[in-house]
Amino acid sequence: MARPQPDDVFERAFDQSATGMALLDTDGRRLRANRAWEAIMGDLPHVAVIDAVADLVADGRLADGEWIDRRPDRTDPSTTRSEAALRRQFTSTGGDGSEQWIDLTMAALCDDGGQLVYVSAQVIDITDAKQLELDILCREQDLFHRATHDALTGLANRAMIDEHLHVAVDRATRHDQQQSIVMFIDLDHFKTVNDTCGHLVGDRVLVEVAARLSATCRASDIVGRYGGDEFVAIVSPVSVEDDGTELASRLLESIAAPIETSLEPLEITASVGVAVAIAGDSVTSVLSRADRAAYEAKHRGGNRTVTAAMALPSGSDGDRGLTTVDSWS
């Protein structure tokens, strides 16, 4: 039996390769292609391939993640003739209408005078790899969201609140024209809601209060559930003239509107403590001041705001006093 000739073996390997391969002219028209190319790209010229050939020929500006590699002629490195290679990924519509991700690599083929005459191209269907990449990304985002957000309300949880408190404290040290305001929001008599209406209704109240707090604050502010019926808002950046009482009043007003439940509309109020992060603060100290101010507001009957003093009392070790300023009654 005669041994197959190398050219015949190469032709067979070319046609049976799982990688789509084609020879194109300088306008991107297909001159020769194997079966894998036809299966991936179809019979008609693809606009992405034509555009890629144009970019390869022009050596134009490419998008992020793409590359052009110009290297000396391998047969004679002393010549100025070079070959160009380009790689990019794009989406295409499969025969069944589904989205298909294609990885395209092409190289310029020049004649002895350095004139571009053909383009060799290879394509691989990377749809499964892209889908796996997307699935992993979605799982990572879901895990991150679970780790940083409250499961019931969707607000930032304590871990994320603490992280942004660090940013607020750092801002107080670095900026003299901007500041951060920390608000501790404690719902009044919430235990009575749970005891008389049940925990499902209580959860409904918490979810609605969370939505109202988020809607009242700016998108750049951080609103979180610190635990139970306690919420924290980190308002940053604000001007040094802003003491937070105007926003606190609007928060109390939004909370006080009746909340529809499965039983009957409920009216609930809150006690708000406000503290401005200042130089020398720690996460613990600024949050403690806001917490103490909220406690004072509750002690005064609730449904009001108390602002913590900004001055450092003589002889204290980071513990601030309170300036009991009612901004809601």
Strand 230-239 vs strand 304-308: parallel, antiparallel, or unpaired?
A: unpaired
Integer angstrom CA distances of residue 38 from 20, 86, 105, 162, 294: 7, 21, 16, 56, 70
pLDDT at residue number 57: 72
- What pLDDT score was predicted for residue 240? 81
Q: Return the pLDDT at 63.
A: 44
* Dist CA 261 CA 92 (whole Å): 49
CB of 265 closer than 8 Å to CB of 259: yes
Amino acid at 172: A
Q: Rounded mean pLDDT of 7-25?
A: 89
**β-pair type (30-33, 178-187):** unpaired
pLDDT of residue 182: 96
Given the candidates 3.20.20.140, 3.40.605.10, 3.30.70.270, 3.30.70.3340, the CATH classification of the domain at 149-323 is 3.30.70.270
Instruction: Pick the range with the lowest mean pLDDT from 24-33, 56-65, 297-306.
Output: 56-65
Cβ contacts of residue 43 below 8 Å, gap of 6+? none
pLDDT at position 83, please? 57
Q: Model confidence at 55, in pLDDT bands (50, 70, 90)? A: confident
**What's the angle, vertex CA 177, arms to CA 176 and CA 183, rounded to 5?**
90
For residue 189, what pLDDT is reported?
A: 95
pLDDT of residue 270 exceeding 70, the answer is: yes
Average pLDDT, the chain: 85
Q: Residue 179 is which amino acid?
A: Q
Alpha helices in 149-258 (DSSP H): 158-174, 190-197, 199-216, 245-256
Q: Which residues does residue 88 pair with via DSSP β-bridges, in sequence order?
A: 104
- pLDDT band at 328, cuts 50/70/90? very low
Q: Does residue 128 sit in helix, strand or coil?
A: helix
At 274 the pLDDT is 96
The pLDDT, as a whole number, for residue 19 is: 94
pLDDT at 172: 85
- Which residues lie closer than 8 Å to 327 by C-beta, 6 or more apart? 245, 246, 248, 249, 304, 305, 307
| Per-residue pLDDT at 238 exceeds 80 | yes
C-alpha atoms less than 13 angstroms from C-alpha of 320 in its C-beta half-sphere: 28
What residue ranges of the chain are covered by domains with CATH 3.30.450.20?
A: 6-130
User: Span 22-39, mean pLDDT?
Assistant: 92
Predicted confidence band of residue 37 (pLDDT cuts 50, 70, 90): very high
Q: Looking at the chain, which residues constitute the CATH 3.30.70.270 domain(s)?
A: 149-323
For residue range 175-224, what is the model confidence (pLDDT) as tens digits? 777 789 999 999 999 999 999 999 999 999 999 999 999 999 999 999 99
Residue 31: pLDDT band with limits 50, 70, 90: very high
Terminal-residue alpha carbon distance, the chain = 103
With a cut of 60, say whether residue 78 has pLDDT above it.
no
Q: How confident is the model at residue 162 (pLDDT cuts 50, 70, 90)?
A: very high
DSSP annotation of 309 reads: P
Closest CA to 27 of 4, 44, 8, 51: 51
Q: Provide CATH code, domain 6-130.
A: 3.30.450.20
Which residue would you say has higher pLDDT here, 301 or 242? 301
